[in-house]
Structure 1
């Protein structure tokens, strides 16, 4: 009897102006965790949307347990045992955990009268929760749960469908290390019960930690499938990008110059930032570390004027400035590349061109020829992959959306660039490009502040690192003295006394 659960053969998919998949293929064995890898725009999401019934393939076949399934729709996908845990959670926030898990399939005492059997609903949900070993209740409102537990609700929903294979799309981008460990325990539990998983991630360490095999796509085509045991990270990267990356973190060292941004004793009204002081200067990349909820993003939002400062002051080039709104920040040469690019960084329904030029519309009578020339210049300089400048920003891959945000701010006279999770959800090739852009900004005398949850990224690209814990600044480390252990100590234990050495 074959151990293969799923086969996708010679899958082709075309969209207007884009040939997304060109003969892609995928084979998943029963009870294995299989990584699906590739750069942004490689076709991973399109292939999975075809498997989930969101898109229909133009050519190719899908076999589940040896049976040709033809064209799949979402209902048929569920019937075939295909579950999906999306990167962007798809839950009804005002309903309970149980109502979300069994949405559209509620047990009724009397369906004609619409009387729900809540006792059975809660018992069935509690049974799945116990199986997953997670600390939530069937009656909890989803809106009151943290992101990690909302993700577990998505997994519970997939299990309630008796899924035989579950697709995890970038499942750890918003999770702390502890939450990632809990997620991996759940995946291993499912694996032991014979449930297969397709794991999509740009974090290669996680791929090696949790996955058995991997399939690589590049530019919509199938490259290779391999056992992960014995293969190197460099080999995987080469398969994904089609070239050798000389360095994962191409750090350049420049001579530090004068301090440009000085933050002194600022706090917010929500008590998420507490009396924080820091300085950023030309000639260096300043890293900002801390666990999820430590106040890193909230601090940068205060600097950018997105939230109100309750006390403290900000100085730029030695002169105190009042920043009460993002427009004040922009006028003072500060730009903010937000962590949430879809809802805060871009207007997804506007064109690529409109997003690039949005921050620098100086005249009431627009010079459309000049705007288009500007758009083309940034498209080519940053290698933004798009059919043309007129397509909607929402159709671009995650990495190209990140480049688009960069183009938007590079099209200004900004002096201070704040990158909040600059490589979240993007591939290793695009990461290297983002790092080169940071180096170039520093070379040009700009100030770069990088907020990141990835310690290798902070250690690889930062000249100095500030660490936060529970809204407070708990330490400062130079590039030479910084280690993962020292950062984690400052981020988890609340730091050290100023009189103690940083070790």
Structure 2
């Protein structure tokens, strides 16, 4: 063995050797070999359903392989639980947050691993001190005693990372860690990762943001359909190479369609405001319009008030003020269910907390909002329901072995498609989509974008929120920018530039030129 080869072997702290994982009806992993090198960022990438989450669960002890083994420091290990993996120095931050919203940050960080006084009682002060240090390291300016339910999604993601850092993991798995983070929070995370590398920690990093992977990764492994299709030092690859290994070709078409005209105004929002707890406004006198057959993108950073605006439109905040009309009919005072019945549908940002029913099947999650459409007298027509489920699985290209399986068995991207199918089954006139591509790979994203365009051609009005510049410019007919609760600019898609969007998102008052101001 050459000296270089010997050094490369010595650098491997964890080796996944010939691992296969079989579930009823599907093979998730097929003879996978994956080397995790210490003091390096080991990128793992693949489309939704490729097997990334399954592989990570095996490494973290949450799942056991059907065949194959794990080697830690060259010695075989068997991990029967996440707690056992943590004892071996393997920590994981899952894509779907695993926090207790009614507990404080400090309590969440040390849940099941509390600091005690002689093993008798919990040393709450010591936990607060440790968490305060971790939050400072992550540049999260909140008290350790803050309830998790009072944090934004991006802040909750940083709390998950703090949990892993608190246990001094030798191998740290980060599954889509930036999916809910602002640009500033991402920079802080990258600084933390650099510090961990300097202390010899091996990072396993999963993300669908390919440019982000190129920037931060040291080695890359690509999964497709449960098999490894590529494994290279990051310095030797580029984005087209990654996409080829993931989907079998260079790219997918994200360009805007042309040729269809927008219809009449279908949604009108006038002077909508939502008070903030204490003082100020989460949504500050926002006005906008949406036409049938039009896709309008709202670009802005975390905390800009985008999600809260959607909640106001749907009727989640009775104390919100302003006027909202759907197809010319006022929605004031109408409950959420009535607004949905009249033609509103929402794809929420946090699918786990706000949309999915994990104990129900894939099919039940799709049809639960439209069961009356399948009713015959006092019974549900199972044949009609099953035909509709099968149609949407086909139309949205949902990767599923059997729609009777629990929805929790699907990858994040396919879960997102199930939520979109549920919304479409209510035959909406206006579709509100909050970060529709969060946690979704390049292939699934293209599928969803195609669905959005097809729906617009058929006359559906789509209003969507994103913090992805490329996405908002590729999909939108018009683009609104929000900052600090206000619409700070409006652009026709043909006039928008990335510089102009970023500039408008960084202000707290209207600085756009008159021709780019939002409609009053």
TM-score norm. by structure 1 comes to 0.92
Per mean C-alpha deviation after superposition, the further-off stretch among 27-36 and 158-167 is 158-167
Question: Residues 11-410 of structure 1 correspond to what in structure 2 (within 5 A)?
Answer: 11-93=19-101, 97-111=105-119, 114-116=120-122, 132=137, 134-135=139-140, 139-143=144-148, 146-247=152-253, 249-253=254-258, 254-270=260-276, 271-308=281-318, 310-322=320-332, 324-362=334-372, 363=375, 364-410=378-424
**What's the CA shift for 1:35?**
0.9
Contact 1:337/1:422 (<8 A) preserved: yes
Secondary structure in 2 matching 1:359? coil
Contact 2:504/2:511 (<8 A) preserved: no
Q: Provide structure 1 residue ranges, at least 5 long, that are not aligned to the other structure.
A: none
User: C-alpha offsets along residues 31-89 of structure 1, whole Å, 9 cap, x if unaligned?
Assistant: 01011111111111111111111111111121112112244533432232211122233
Contact 1:305/1:328 (<8 A) preserved: no
**What's the CA shift for 1:484?**
2.0
Distance 1:473 1:13, change over 3 A: same
**What's the CA shift for 1:181?**
0.7
Contact 2:252/2:443 (<8 A) preserved: no
Contact 2:482/2:505 (<8 A) preserved: yes
Q: What is the alpha-carbon distance in structure 1 between the residues aligned to residue 493 and residue 446 of structure 2?
A: 19
Q: What is the alpha-carbon distance in structure 2 between the residues aligned to residue 502 and residue 471 of structure 1?
A: 17
Per mean C-alpha deviation after superposition, the further-off stretch among 297-306 and 148-157 is 148-157
**What's the CA shift for 1:109?**
3.8
Answering whether residue 471 of structure 2 is matched by residue 469 of structure 1, we say no
Per mean C-alpha deviation after superposition, the further-off stretch among 278-287 and 425-434 is 278-287
Contact 1:56/1:71 (<8 A) preserved: yes
Q: Provide structure 2 residue ranges, at least 5 long, that are not aligned to the other structure.
A: 1-6
Q: What is the alpha-carbon distance in structure 1 between the residues aligned to residue 422 and residue 102 of structure 2?
A: 35
Q: What is the alpha-carbon distance in structure 2 between the residues aligned to residue 350 and residue 473 of structure 1?
A: 39
Question: Alpha carbon RMSD of aligned pairs, Å?
Answer: 2.5
**What's the CA shift for 1:167?**
0.3
Contact 2:93/2:161 (<8 A) preserved: yes
Aligned residues: 499
Distance 1:141 1:345, change over 3 A: closer
**What's the CA shift for 1:273?**
1.5
Distance 1:139 1:129, change over 3 A: closer
Contact 1:418/1:449 (<8 A) preserved: yes
**Partner of residue 447, structure 1:** 461
**What's the CA shift for 1:142?**
4.9
Q: What is the alpha-carbon distance in structure 2 between the residues aligned to residue 100 and residue 15 of structure 1?
A: 32
Distance 1:394 1:160, change over 3 A: closer
Secondary structure in 1 matching 2:317? coil
Contact 2:221/2:232 (<8 A) preserved: yes
